[in-house]
Structure 1
Amino acid sequence: MENASLFPKTTKALLDKKAALAPDNIDAWRNFSKAVFKAGALDEKTKQLIAVAVGHVTQCPYCIRAHTSQAMRKGASKEEIMEAIWVATEMRAGAAYAHATIAMDEMEKHHH
């Protein structure tokens, strides 16, 4: 894999070592994560589709893998997953364009 050094393979040993460095924090995060992804007003599939979209916006390869897999386990189709990714794409592009208002405001201060 071309990015192997940038994104190392996740192993149980590596995850255990990482967790051991801050055990209270990892326990709190794991409990928080379980609570967030539990069915509530939104079902589990919808929450996983949101996570897939957000993973693309935050550009977290680990999140993309994990939540795409979870979304499929919760019944999401490939088409639903791709639509969620396109929503993320539009939001990321839209946010960049929306922030052009800041550049416009700054340009207006310079009447060259």
Structure 2
Amino acid sequence: MFPEATPDLDKRRAELAPKPAEAFAAFSKAVFAEGALDEKTKQLIAVAVAHVTQCPYCIKGHTKVAHRKGASPQEVMEAVWVAAEMRAGGAYAHSTLALDTLGETHPAGGQH
């Protein structure tokens, strides 16, 4: 369904917009560098976020790097479950918008 991510596509993107491509690469390198969080933890966070944003390229790429940085399959799956809970939690939390719209956020007889 999705085209394969290839070095040729990366090269073409860089040719079409070199400055943003360079800036993005530098930003990515800085974000994933060892810091207060180790690289494995940062990659596990990326795996979780990739599942929430539903980017197949990010899921595959960050899962591979997380594994290379020492993440076990169990750690990767736990990160995915955290993503699932947060995605579901977002829907639950946003139900306040629907309830407010329906006038259900105030007790019976209360002001809206």
When normalised by structure 1's length, the TM-score is: 0.90
1:39-50 paired onto structure 2 within 5 Å: 39-50=34-45
- Measure how far apart 1:13 and its partner are: 1.5
Unaligned runs of 5+ in 2: 105-112
- Measure how far apart 1:21 and its partner are: 0.8
Aligned counterpart in structure 2 of residue 62 of structure 1, from 57, 61, 70? 57
1:1-112 paired onto structure 2 within 5 Å: 3=1, 7-108=2-103
Query: Cα RMSD (Å) of the superposition?
Result: 0.9
- In terms of Rg, which structure is larger? 2
- Partners in 2 of 1:44 and 1:73 — Cα distance? 10
Identity of aligned residues (%): 63
- Partners in 1 of 2:6 and 2:44 — Cα distance? 25
- Partners in 2 of 1:89 and 1:82 — Cα distance? 10
- Partners in 2 of 1:36 and 1:46 — Cα distance? 12
